[in-house]
Amino acid sequence: MVTTGAPRMKITYATLSAENEELQAAFDRAVASVREHLGQRYPMLIGDERRFADEEFEDRSPIDTSLVVSRFPMGTRTDVQDAVAAARAAFPAWRDLGWRRRIGLLRQAADLISERQFEYAALMAFEVGKNRLEALGDVEETADLLRYYSDVMERHEGFVEPMGSLSPAEHTRSVLKPHGVWAVISPFNFPMALSGGPAGGALIAGNTVVMKPSSDAPLMGYKFAEVLREVGVPPGVVNLVTGPGETVGVELEQNPGIDGLVFTGSYEVGMRLYSSFTRDYPRPIITEMGGKNPAIVTRSADLDEAAEGVMRSAFGFDGQKCSANSRVYVERPAAEEFLAKLVEKTEKLAVGDPTRRENWMGPVINERALRKFTDAVEEVQRDGGTIEVGGAVLSGDGTERGFFPTPTVVSGLPLSHRLFREELFVPLVVVGEVDSLDEALEQANATPYGLTAGIFTRDDAEIRHFLDGIQAGVVYVNRRAGATTGAWPGIQSFGGWKGSGSSGKNGLGPYYVQQFMREQSQTVMGEEPPPA
Ligand code: NAD
């Protein structure tokens, strides 16, 4: 473990800057320290076994692909089958441990994660290319997710609810019980929070889990699972299998020993799982998917606030947040000034190695993502749009060994253009002009997605109209810290409507843990209520 002498300062995604020198120095120490340990081999966690394999894959840094961050086994379908068997065997004891002792362990894990915030954030910066504030936020969010879901379980006293009675000799209660074994499939972009949050929800509810992190970010998922074991969560309760979606993921989808599946990732993979997971038998599946998140800027908006909010949400972590703002509808009278301000702010963004303090943007995750960016830029030029700023890929100073697009603002495309509809997951935002708020809302809602949305306006009636009409699971009004991004556990619950999410209950919020349980109505005849 790395000792950084780290200061205690809570970093969230709304933290605008960190001028705290102690914090910056602690992060620099953590970067220097973890750099020396990059490239290690890690095992899968299956029952009480740390399982290595002959065939491995390398987790390379998008900052510099000559850096191997970690090496993980190429898991097979047999490894998944063994992990499922271990999780099934561990389930009864974990369930019977009771919710009080379970949340006791998960709260300890949360504290250990917070204690190691700098070490984990430095590793994450290398692994996926987050800047220091974003990486520190991701780690602390993981800890707060465990705390918040524990609080929900406690507030509801384990979800045992006394019900009415039709006679004095009858006692009825509603009890929520865990299902058994949940598969947890995670994306690369919040590699700790979106491994730890869903796994934490399932575990607090009393299930055991088999985790599959993204092959672009296996290390953060592994670190989360390791912490749980350190605080005494028994082997078999948390299992981790690494490897490609096509084998490991598919076995998780098809294995009948999996009782529920929670997936976070793209629409394409999520919808495939959604339709196939329940083909033979009903099983709960939660899919959190992509977004094409709009911001609306009306003529009454504070345009500096709007430009700042859009810039932060479009380019934070290179546009690779599911909540990233990728399209803007601005009312015509405000368009020119808004665009000028957005361009001015974008031009000032420093792009480069995100482990360095001065860089606010880093690389995109892999070559495929970079190609999506360059293809989109070509498409803008071909279809008569204007690249207001950006549109380039950095080279020189070693950046050619990574994947560094520049933040890009596009105008002049028709509102029906593909780039207003499809998720790209790169730092490119399209700005379109509209005649009214009604037209903006109609456009904002005209995609299959419905994850986040934002508006900038000084008019209360417009705010009400937006809140009534927008189709999205997370919405923000006049948020300088991020037009559409920056949700935090227990503050903004986070989930998608329509093609962005299947459950209608948001993560980070008060109805999440319940989704990992099923209800039993218990009626017991007798003068006295049954024992708890
Ligand atoms: P992805 O869909 O490519 O991968 C997600 C996970 O699914 C990975 O672990 C991957 O290995 C696995 N997978 C791939 N094929 C599979 C298969 N056939 N069966 C089972 N598992 C399979 O997504 P990504 O590129 O890692 O993440 C980016 C996407 O995630 C974006 O679309 C983003 O919007 C979305 N996302 C959504 C949320 C949300 O809360 N709604 C949060 C973060 C990311």
Task: Judge whether 56 counts as a catalytic residue.
Answer: no
CA atoms of 403 and 406, how far apart (whole Å): 10
Give yes or no for residue 496 CB within 6 A of ligand 1.
yes
Q: Ligand 1: which atom is nearest the Cα of residue 500?
A: 41
Q: Is 218 in the pocket of ligand 1 (CB under 6 A)?
A: no
- Residue 112: CB atoms within 10 A of its CB come to 16
pLDDT, tens digit (0-9, with 9 covering 90-100), for 184-196:
999 999 999 999 9
Q: 230: how many CB neighbours lie within 10 A of its CB?
A: 11
So what's the pLDDT on residue 532?
74
**Whole-number Å distance between alpha carbons of 319 and 272:** 24
Average pLDDT taken over every residue of the chain: 96
Handedness of CA 522, 526, 531, 532 (dihedral sign): positive
Q: Give the Cα separation of 81 and 348 in Å (integer).
A: 51
Q: What percent of the chain is predicted at pLDDT more than 90?
A: 93
> In the predicted model, is pLDDT for residue 510 greater than 90?
yes
Q: Which of 251, 322, 423, 462 is flagged as catalytic?
A: 322
> 13 pLDDT band (50/70/90 cuts)?
confident
What gap in Å lies between CA 397 and CA 23, rounded to an integer?
A: 27
Element (H, E) at 426: none
Region 65-76: what's the mean pLDDT?
Answer: 98
What predicted TM-score, i.e. pTM, was given to this entire model? 0.97
Average pLDDT of span 497-520: 98
Residue 119: pLDDT band by 50, 70, 90 thresholds? very high
Contact indicator for 158, 236 with CB cutoff of 8 Å: no
Ligand 1 closest atom vs CA 451: 41
Is the pLDDT confidence value at 255 over 70? Answer: yes
Are 499 and 450 within 8 A, CB to CB?
yes
From-to residues of CATH 3.40.309.10 in the chain: 293-488
Residue 52, pLDDT above cutoff 90: yes
Is residue 163 helix, strand or coil?
Answer: coil
**Contact predicate 37/337, CB 8 Å:** no
**DSSP 3-state assignment of 221?**
helix
Dist. CA 501–CA 79, nearest whole Å: 29
* pLDDT at residue 12, rounded to an integer: 80
Which alpha helices (DSSP H) does 396-459 contain, by range?
437-444
CA 288 to centroid of ligand 1, rounded, Å: 9
Q: Residues 469-504: pLDDT tens digits?
A: 999 999 999 999 999 999 999 999 999 999 999 999
Q: Which residues contact 147 (CB under 8 A, 6 or more apart)?
A: 107, 110, 489
Identify the three-state secondary structure at position 498. strand
Residue 503 Cβ < 6 Å to ligand 1: no
Percent of the chain's residues with pLDDT above 70: 98
Walk across the sheet containing 260-264 and list its strands.
Answer: 49-51, 44-46, 238-240, 208-212, 181-185, 260-264, 285-288
CB 337 within 8 Å of CB 510: no
Quick one: which atom of ligand 1 is closest to the CA of 265? 30
Write down how long the chain is: 532
Q: Which CATH number fits domain 23-56+71-289+505-521: 2.60.120.380, 3.40.605.10, 3.90.1200.10, 3.20.20.100?
A: 3.40.605.10
C-alpha distances out from residue 476 to 309, 439, 444, Å: 10, 19, 14
- Residue ranges, comma separated, of all CATH 3.40.605.10 domains in the chain are 23-56+71-289+505-521
What is the per-residue pLDDT for 2? 46
453 Cα: distance to centroid of ligand 1 (angstroms): 21
Query: Is the C-beta atom of 366 inside 6 A of ligand 1?
Result: no
Residue 16 pLDDT class (50, 70, 90 cuts): low
| Rounded-to-integer distance, Cα 223 and Cα 217, Å | 11
pLDDT for 3:
46
Examine the pLDDT at 356 and tell me if it is beyond 70.
yes
Question: What is the three-class DSSP state of 79?
Answer: helix
> Residues with Cβ < 8 Å from 104, sequence gap 6 or more?
none
Contact predicate 409/377, CB 8 Å: no
pLDDT at 1: 46
The CA distances from residue 387 to 160, 381, 384, 428, in Å, are 57, 8, 10, 10
Q: Which two tokens stand for residue 144?
A: 């707060």
Question: Are 392 and 398 contacting, i.e. CB atoms less than 8 angstroms apart?
Answer: no
- For atom 32 of ligand 1, which residue has the closest CA? 266
Quote the CA–CA distance of 421 and 447 in Å, as a whole number.
Answer: 6
32 neighbors 39 (Cβ within 8 angstroms): no
What pLDDT does residue 10 have?
A: 79
Query: Which distant-in-sequence residues (6+ apart) come within 8 Å of 29 by Cβ?
Result: 2, 4, 5, 118
Q: Is position 288 annotated as part of the catalytic site?
A: yes
Burial (CB count within 10 angstroms: exposed 0-12, middle 13-18, buried 19+), residue 435: exposed
Model pLDDT for residues 279-321, shown as the tens digit of each residue: 999 999 999 999 999 999 999 999 999 999 999 999 999 999 9
Domain 293-488 architecture: 3-Layer(aba) Sandwich (3.40)
Q: What is the model's pLDDT at position 20?
A: 82
Decide whether any atom of ligand 1 lies within 6 Å of the 351 Cβ. no
> Which has the minimum average pLDDT: 8-12, 34-38, 289-293, 387-391?
8-12
**Mean pLDDT over residues 220-248, rounded?**
97
CA distance 224 to 143: 10
Place 18 in a pLDDT band, splitting at 50, 70 and 90: low
Q: Is the CB of 506 under 6 A from ligand 1?
A: no
Q: What distances in angstroms separate CA 517 from CA 147, 156, 201, 283, 404, one per listed residue? A: 19, 13, 10, 11, 43
Helix residue ranges, H only, 326-431: 332-347, 367-382
